[in-house]
Amino acid sequence: MADVNVQKRQLRAAGVVPVLTIERTEDAVPVAKALTDGGLRVLEVTLRTACALDAIKEISNSGLDVLVGAGTITCESDVGSALKYGAQFLVPPATPAFLLSELAAFPGLVVPGIATPTEALSLYDHGFDVVKFFPAEPYGGASTLKALSAPLPNISFMPTGGVSFEKLPSYLKLPNVAAAGGSWLATPADIQAGNWARITELAQEASDLVKSLRPG
Ligand code: 3PG
């Protein structure tokens, strides 16, 4: 497991995190390859399907230069399962008290879900300084994160939920945004149809935008 600070740098360097819902284990490596071919190297696999853990394991063992994490962590046992199957980081959509001790014990990066300043500050007090702002667009999107930057200067955010390519610049221009997450890069429909070239194209488009907005 890479050092957490290294993972935080990888997250910021990626700028965009594809959120994947994979229905067939055999799609895991091809979709990861399609995304890395497009320049995106930090991927979140949601624990919403029967094969999600196997998909994480396949990607983790694939030899691809990729950081694979588990999303939709909603109970304590998800944390141990994700670790066992090779997840290097975790992204819970929300962070109730019953998850805190398991999350704090995870050896990699944890990006816990928040929707309010109180939740963000409470998690910062527990040692989490990169949090997932979810669901980002319904909760005010980039203008909410801009408003949070002055009172919460030490917290970085990963907005996810309703983010699109068109909305990316509004997030990536904010210094307190580590990366934005979204499913538009590899939708369940494109994954099931094996549209790997399209997925690479969308990843390349996003990765080029990150480079143009965050040079160096
Ligand atoms: C999710 O809940 O699936 C993620 O937050 C991604 O949301 P999106 O589909 O709106 O990008």
Q: Which residues lie closer than 8 Å to 157 by C-beta, 6 or more apart?
A: 120, 130, 131, 132, 133, 145, 148, 176, 177, 178
Cα(196)–Cα(44) distance, integer angstroms: 17
Higher-confidence position of 18 and 2: 18
Residue 2 pLDDT more than 90?
no
173 is catalytic: no
| Averaged pLDDT, 164-173 | 97
pLDDT at 1 over 80: no
* Tens-digit pLDDT profile for residues 120-150: 999 999 999 999 999 999 999 999 999 999 9
Of all atoms in ligand 1, which is nearest to the CA of residue 21? 3
132 is catalytic: yes
Q: If you take atom 2 of ligand 1, which residue's CA is the nearest one?
A: 161
pLDDT band at 37 (very low <50, low <70, confident <90, very high): very high
Q: How far is the CA of 39 from the centre of ligand 1 (A)?
A: 20
Query: Which entry of 44, 58, 102, 137 is annotated as an active-site residue?
Result: 44
Average pLDDT of the residues of the chain: 97
Which residues lie with the beta carbon below 6 Å from any ligand 1 atom? Answer: 19, 134, 160-163, 182-184
Percent of the chain scoring above 70 in pLDDT: 99
**182: confidence class by pLDDT, cuts 50, 70, 90:** very high
215 has pLDDT over 90:
no
Q: How far apart are CA 202 and CA 199, in angstroms?
A: 5
Q: Rounded to whole angstroms, how far apart are CA atoms 146 and 101?
A: 30
How does pLDDT run across 49-63, given as a tens digit for each residue? Answer: 999 999 999 999 999
